[in-house]
Amino acid sequence: MSAVAIRLADVHKTYAIGENEVHALRGLDLEIGRGEYVSVMGPSGSGKSTLLEILGCLSQPSAGRYWLNGVAVDEVDADGLAKLRGEAIGFVFQAFNLLPRMTLLENVALPLLYRGVPRAARHERALASLARVSLEHRAAHRPGEVSGGERQRAAIARALVNRPSLLLADEPTGNLDSAHGREILGLLEGIHADGATVVIVTHDPIIGARTRRHIGIRDGAIESDERSAA
Amino acid sequence: MSPFESLREALRLLRAQPLRSLLTLFGLVWGTAAVIFLLSWGVGLRTMLDTAFQRAGKNLVQTWAGKISEDFSPAVDRRFLWYTQADVEALRERAPELDRVAGETRRHAPAAFRGRALSLEVRGVEPEGEAIRDIPLASGRLITHEDMAQSRRVLVVGHRARERLLGAEGRVGSWVRIDGASFQVVGVLERVGTQLSRDGAEIDDQLWVPLSVHVALWPNPWLPVEMLSSILARAKDRDRIDAAEGEMRRVLADRLGVAADDEEAVPIFSPVKMLRRIPIDQQNGLNLLIALTTLLVGGIGILAMMLDSVQERRAEIGVRLALGARQRDVLLQFLWEGVAIVVLGGALGVALGAGGALFLGSDAFRSGIPAPLRDLVPVPELSAAVVLLAVVAMAVVALTAGVVPAWHAARIDPAETLRVE
């Protein structure tokens, strides 16, 4: 496998909102190596969420190309993209996005379900993933029955269950108090330490300061790209 | 994701909102039940009418002598006509469309048994006539050719006539006085039930004596001949009733010396033709239409619920897509939800419709209907074909209602639903 996890070449993204065209990304070039720990920062409307959607294969660039682990994403069909999302990428959202009618265990097992893993193995791996975020005792609870921090930990367990090479987090601590936020950051650092590429989108400089590489975005283009010593 | 997994997922989601699922199911359940119930009711109604119209004789064609109509003769010359046994013989010889032909006479007469006296309709019948009526015997025997030839004063009693006249103590062998003459009861008929077509009293209220005895005891005071009240016959083929009628009229008109198309001179009545005039097929068609419309409304309910559910679950669908679900998985999930609803609603609807149909046919229900009406309340006839039709119609409606939302769900853009602004 390539040592480069993510490569973006002259990526543009435009949305049509009513009569207006919004240019969310304007010719973005970016390379992120395997195992990097990166934060993407920028003000609201800078295009950082759009960047994350493209990195997560949730939407396609309007122009330009994107290679994930050496694979040109624009050459992959819809089912292939679903497979990439399910197996190569793990998502952590600001709003957790757990399915409210399912138990935490069932939520964590969802990516395995779409991957066609048999029921017993699903159960076992989901439980192991919950154990990694110290939530195995909450496996049978629904999201509404646990705290915000626990919900986000469950969401991380879900993102990890397929052992993705890329973890994308969108304001993972945005809905949490600082104690729980630190706990989540600790988990993300652990994942990075285990070898995964971690990209966090945030506008919180405290989080940004904890990563090894800091990318600043403004008006759909990279404004700064700095590295700090480990 | 396997279909089995999808189905389990769908069932879990149905259970998650039981009230909404139930309300949605109601239209479907009711529609399916309506199709099954109304169709079996319609078939039962046809049978009921057919039976009730033909109780006095299967494929019966019957004629009473009339008078020459004005179209064929000046008013001053309009004769009254009558039939005799010779006309019956002529029909037997010259009308091949008729299976059996018999003459019948009738009069009301006082009948007495052990101090009880009633005025009953007394009919002179011959064995061919008994065969046309084809009423089973409760006990004893029918009137025979020997009874006719020897002018025996024997009597066959209708079911209700027996109850009212003979009471508990009368039976085969008892003696009854009719208009002063003594008759011995030789047979009692089974209950016939409500007749929707009849000539005079219902058979249950009749007393039957040999035709030869009837005409000898009670001759027509104004005519020198042994006049019949009517001639009855059985058409060989139900579908050829018109041919049978035409043949009967031709032969009799020829014998009476009237025009062969004078329907007033030779009036012929047949219950089968009367039955044909009842728009039962149209009625059943209308019922089916109403039932299918109900089903359609149920389908629209499902469509609304599923579309609503897709809208409500946009975020969920986005999450599923982000976690590796293919469009196909999302499509199938919603389709299976539709199927689960169909299976559940169909099963409940079939149970309700079939249950209702079976209940209306059950003894528990029928014993509660007043006796005179019982014969006129149809017993719904449930058949596999009716159930199949309902199930197929329901499946088509409900699946159509499930495909559209499923297609909507599968086309959701995950990026859009996950964006937090």
Chain A residues in contact with B315 by the CB 8 A cut-off are 97
Per-residue pLDDT band at B252 (split at 50, 70, 90): very high
Compute the distance between CA of residue B62 and CA of residue B65 in angstroms, rounded to an integer. Answer: 10
Pick the closest to residue B177 from B242, B251, B117 (CA basis).
B117
Q: Within 13 Å and on the Cβ side, how many CA atoms surround A216?
A: 9
Tell me, letter by letter, the H, E, C secondary structure of chain A.
CCCEEEEEEEEEEEEEECCEEEEEEEEEEEEEECCCEEEEECCCCCCHHHHHHHHCCCCCCCEEEEEECCEEHHHCCHHHHHHHHHHCEEEECCCCCCCCCCCHHHHHHHHHHHHCCCHHHHHHHHHHHHHHCCCHHHCCCCHHHCCHHHHHHHHHHHHHCCCCCEEEEECCCCCCCHHHHHHHHHHHHHHHHCCCEEEEEECCHHHHHHCCEEEEEECCEEEEEEECCC
B328 contacts chain A (CB < 8 A): yes
Q: Are residues B92 and B199 in the same domain?
A: yes
In this predicted structure, what is the pLDDT of residue B313?
83
Cα–Cα–Cα angle for B277, B280, B281, nearest 5°?
110
In a domain, A16, yes or no: no
Least confident of B76-85, B179-188, B365-374, B404-413: B76-85
Whole-angstrom distance, CA of residue B367 vs CA of residue B355: 18
Q: Which of B129, B126, B122, B118 lies closest to B218, judged by CA?
A: B122
Strand partners, B84: B227
Q: What is the pTM of this model?
A: 0.71
Same domain, B290 and B260: no
Residue A62 CB-density burial (10 A; 0-12 exposed, 13-18 middle, 19+ buried): middle
Using DSSP, state whether B386 is helix, strand or coil.
helix
Nearest of B90, B112, B114 to residue B101 by alpha carbon: B90
| Structure-token pair, residue B236 | 């060989």
For chain A, report the end-to-end CA distance as a whole number of angstroms.
Answer: 24
- B111 vs A195, B119, B123, B151, B211, CA distance in Å? 113, 6, 13, 19, 17
User: Could you tell me the CATH number of the domain that includes residue A127?
Assistant: 3.40.50.300
Distance (Å) from the alpha carbon of A172 to chain B's nearest alpha carbon: 12
Burial class for A44, CB neighbours closer than 10 Å (0-12, 13-18, 19+): exposed
Of B359 and B5, which is predicted with more confidence?
B359
Shared domain for B48 and B82, answered yes or no, is no
Non-local (6+) Cβ contacts of A15 within 8 A are A21, A22, A24
The closest CB to that of B5, out of A94, A113, A170, belongs to A113
Beta bridge partners, A202, equal A41
Per-residue pLDDT of B211-226, as tens digits, reads 999 999 998 877 777 8
**What are the structure tokens assigned to B281, written together?**
């097929």
Whether residues B391 and B264 share a domain: the answer is no
Question: Amino acid identity, residue A88?
Answer: A
Q: With beta carbons less than 8 A apart as the criterion, state whether B412 and B318 touch.
A: yes
Q: Which two tokens stand for residue A198?
A: 């971690």
Per-residue pLDDT of chain A (230 residues; tens, 9 = 90+): 558 899 999 999 998 877 888 888 999 999 999 999 999 998 888 888 889 999 999 989 999 999 999 999 999 998 999 999 999 999 998 888 998 888 999 999 999 988 889 989 999 999 999 999 999 999 999 999 999 889 999 999 999 998 999 999 998 888 888 888 888 899 999 999 989 999 999 888 888 888 989 999 998 899 999 888 65
- Do B65 and B190 lie in a common domain? yes
Strand partners, B177: B112, B182
If asked whether residues B10 and B82 sit together in one domain, one would say no
Is A118 contained in some domain? yes
Instruction: Note whether residue A17 is domain-resident.
Output: no
- Give B421's pLDDT tier (boundaries 50, 70, 90): very low
Q: Do residues B107 and B149 both lie within one domain? A: yes
Q: Is B200 left (phi over 0), alpha (psi -120 to 50) or beta?
A: left
Q: Give domain status of residue A8, yes or no.
A: no
DSSP letter for B204, please: G
Confidence at residue B104, expressed as pLDDT on a 0 to 100 scale: 94
- Within 8 A of B320 by CB-CB distance, chain A residues are 110, 114
Give CA angle at B407 (B405, B413), nearest 5°: 105
Which chain B residue has its CA at the smallest distance from A174's CA?
B420
Residues of A in Cβ contact (< 8 Å) with B5: 113
Distances (CA, A) of B240 to B246, B247, B270: 10, 11, 12
Per-residue pLDDT of B272-305, as tens digits, reads: 988 888 888 888 899 889 988 888 888 888 888 7
Identify whether the C-beta of residue B28 lies closer than 8 Å to the C-beta of residue B361. no
For residues B316 and B353, membership in a common domain is answered with yes
∠ CA(B36), CA(B40), CA(B43), 5° rounding?
A: 150
Written as six digits, the tokens of A121 are 């193995």
Q: Which residues of A touch B (CB under 8 A)?
A: 49, 53, 56, 58-59, 78-79, 82-83, 85-87, 91, 93-95, 97, 99, 101, 110-111, 113-116, 158, 162, 170-171
Do B197 and B315 share a structural domain?
A: no
Of B269, B289, B304, the residue at which a domain comes to its end is B269
**B265 lies in the same domain as B329:** no
CB atoms within 10 A of CB A106: 20
Is the CB of B324 less than 8 angstroms away from the CB of A78? no
End-to-end CA distance of chain B: 32
In chain B, the number of structural domains is 2
How high is the ipTM of this complex?
0.91
How many separate domains does chain A show? 1
Q: What is the pLDDT of residue B416?
A: 81
Instruction: Tell which residue, B341, B347, B377, B339, has the closest CA to residue B359.
Output: B377
Distance, CA of B50 to CA of A51 (rounded, Å): 78
Between B8 and A38, where is the model more confident?
Answer: A38
Does residue B246 share a domain with residue B165?
Answer: yes
Q: How far is CA B197 from CA A27, B45, B93, B193, B200, in A?
A: 93, 16, 28, 12, 10
List the domain range (segments joined by +) for residue B41.
3-53+278-418
Residue A98 included in any domain: yes
Distance from the Cα of residue A37 to its chain's centroid:
12
Of B248, B269, B290, the one marking the end of a domain is: B269
Pairing of strands B154-157, B206-210: antiparallel
Does B216 lie in the same domain as B112? yes
Structural domain for A183, as ranges: 36-63+75-227
More confident: B23 or B277 = B277
Number of Cβ within 10 Å of residue A193's Cβ equals: 11
Amino acid making up residue A197: T
Quote the mean pLDDT of chain B: 88
CA–CA distance, A158 with B99 (Å, rounded to integer): 85
Last residue of a domain, one of B236, B269, B302: B269
Domain-embedded: residue A15: no
Note the pLDDT of residue A75: 93
Query: What is the C-alpha to C-alpha distance for residues B204 and B355, in angstroms, rounded to an integer?
Result: 34
Chain A within 8 Å of B125 (Cβ-Cβ)? no
Q: How many CB pairs under 8 A join A and B?
A: 71
| Residue A137 is assigned to a structural domain of this protein | yes
Select the residue of B316, B324, B413 nearest A111 (Cβ to Cβ): B324
| Residue B21 and residue B338 in contact, taking contact as beta carbons nearer than 8 Å | no
pLDDT value at residue B170 = 83
Residues recorded for chain B: 421
Q: Which residues contact B95 (CB under 8 A, 6 or more apart)?
A: B101, B233, B244, B247, B248, B251
Distance CA B233, CA B243 (A): 13
